[in-house]
Structures are given as structure tokens and as C-alpha cells.
Chain A
């Protein structure tokens, strides 16, 4: 199934893009989506630490299963203000 991955800030720069369509198996988790993104964008390897994730713009744990058409976002530590 297909999901859309969103990357921000440092992660977006490392990958060279902020939006990535990704193909993952049925019942894949957010962690599996991350692995797929790292496989396609190796500079992201080793950057999972301290990252928060979101499913359809809501915070989610990395063991959350994803569904067809989901938007999965990986958020580096925030620095607004």
C-alpha cells in the first residue's frame, strides 16, 4: 500500500525532499515506513533518535500501524519561538 511521508527541517535537508511517496506492506508500522525511507534516502540513517512521529497530522507512536493513503510525518526536535 501507498503512504505519503513528510519530512521537516534537518530531515528534509538530509533527504533532499520534504515529501516522499512510499510503498509499504499491509499492516506496516510507522517504524517500517521510516526504514523504507532510510533505504531510499541513506543520509537519513542514524537520525531516528529523538524524532517524534505523526499519522495524519496527529502524534503517534512508532509501533502504530499505517493505512493506505496515510500521511506519515517524522519530526525532529522542535525549535519554535
Chain B
């Protein structure tokens, strides 16, 4: 069975990960059908950036720290939405246009918590996980740079929560 949090250089199998999250929720509850709602977010590699074709993306991670960040996001989700089970898998290495780079599955008894937790998790991942993306185009490549990672920045955390609950 798939772990709940992982970095992997292998392609992400969305259906298998949704099943794994549902199974984990069932295990936790001690009965089948624990999740009345599973909210899945799949981030995929865009085939164009600013109108120019993208050959592929390359993801690099500081793996022990990135995995710790994914665990931290799961803990934060548990604090805000205690019944939610969170699966969070992120790719490393080369990801072609249309292929998933990240899969998040949040399970809950009801849809509101599942959707909010899933949105919160992707917002936090973009803020704090030490993972970097390089866009490889036909005529060159460049690193994408977003947020300066600071897990203790409470304003960033509040902003992620605001977006999740909007």
C-alpha cells in the first residue's frame, strides 16, 4: 500500500493514490466507507508558459526536509480539520506536459472539510516545501522561484487557511 506522504521519481497513479487514501481513512475509522468525501487535487505540468511550448519540467527536492514539510502540512491539516486523512505525493525528476507533478487527496466525512483541507495543503506546499521546478523550453531553461520557505510565518499560514475556506 502507498504511504500517505511521499516524494517519488516514478509517475503518480492518481487512481491508486485515491484508493490508498480511502483505505487509510477506513483503517483509521475501523470500518469501510469512512470517507463520505474525497477531495483530490492533481497538479500537472503545463505545456505552455507565457505562450511558449514547454518540453518538460524538472523537479528537485531537499528530500529529508521536503518529506518533513509534507508531514508538517498533514499535522496542520489535522489541527484545523481533525477528521481529515491527508495523502500528499510529489514528483521529483522530469515531468512531461500533462503529467501529474503533485497529487493531494483529503478524505473526510463531509465535503466541506475535504475540499478545504485539500486546498489548504496545496497552498502550504507551495509556501514551505523545499522543492524547486525548472522549466525546460525549446530554447533554454529557467528555475521558477516562488516563496521564501518559512514554516513559522503565521501570516502565510493564515493566508493559506483563508484561501482554503473562501
Contact check, A81 vs B101: say whether CB atoms are below 8 A apart.
yes
Q: Mostly helix, strand, loop or mixed at chain B's interface?
A: mixed
CB 8 Å contact bits of A41-81 with B (1 = contact, 0 = none): 00000000011101001110000000000000101111111
Residue tally, chain B, CB below 8 Å to A: 33
Query: B126: which of A10, A59, A81 is its contact (CB, 8 Å)?
Result: A81
Whether A81 lies near B149 (C-beta < 8 A) is: no
Given contacts A9-B60, A10-B143, A50-B148, contact A78 B65 (CB under 8 A): no
Interface flag for B98 (CB, 8 Å): no
Interface segment, one of B15-23, B29-37, B130-138: B130-138
Measuring CB to CB, which residues of chain A are less than 8 angstroms from any residue of chain B? 6, 8-10, 12-13, 50-52, 54, 57-59, 73, 75-81
Name 14 interchain pairs, CB-CB below 8 A, sorted by A.
A8-B132, A9-B132, A13-B143, A54-B130, A59-B152, A75-B149, A79-B126, A79-B132, A79-B144, A80-B131, A81-B43, A81-B90, A81-B125, A81-B133
